Amino acid sequence: VRCGFLEYHERRAKAVGPDKSLFDGFAPNSQGKWTADWSKWFGRYLRKDIGIADEQKVFHSFRHSFNDACRDAGIHLEIRKRLIGHSEGGVNAGYGEGAFFAELNEYLQRLMSKGRYAALDLSHMHVSE
């Protein structure tokens, strides 16, 4: 939030419409997968530019690491799924409006203050308090 994500979202929705991709430059591949080409690019970037030779380290590895960090910070499974972008599944998942953004942000703040990312300083990216 402090890095301007909400403002970015608002500008992007006004520019391209609320039902379009949040980030520019993404298009589905021939099978309709939105992240396949990005994933391939990132894999090449890790190997060639960053020098990470372990081919098991891929873009999806961020999800695994983030999930582990959330678990370490005591964030329960339902909220972890929402933060990661997984659906809850089952009939019950369709009821209610789910966790609101402010609530999810509270969990992210907990993660940043008590979890693995406590030493991560993003203040140089802040556009607001």
Does residue 15 register a pLDDT over 90? Answer: yes
Which tens digit of pLDDT belongs to each residue from 68-106?
999 998 899 988 988 888 766 666 656 666 557 788 888
| CA-closest candidate to residue 78, choices 61, 95, 59 | 95
The one-character DSSP state at 123 is G
The rounded percent of the chain whose pLDDT value lies above 70 is 89
Question: What six digits make up the tokens of 16?
Answer: 């391209």
Angle between helix axes 77-84 and 101-114 (nearest 10 degrees) is 100
Most trustworthy range by pLDDT among 2-11, 91-100, 112-121? 2-11
Does residue 43 register a pLDDT over 80? Answer: yes
Whole-angstrom distance, CA of residue 101 vs CA of residue 41: 30
Question: What six digits make up the tokens of 127?
Answer: 């556009």
How deeply is 104 buried, as exposed, middle or buried, from its count of CB atoms within 10 A (0-12, 13-18, 19+)?
middle
Question: What six digits make up the tokens of 80?
Answer: 């972890």
Which tens digit of pLDDT belongs to each residue from 55-73?
999 988 888 999 999 999 8
Q: Which residue has the higher pLDDT, 36 or 91?
A: 36
Q: Considering the entire predicted model, what is its pTM?
A: 0.68
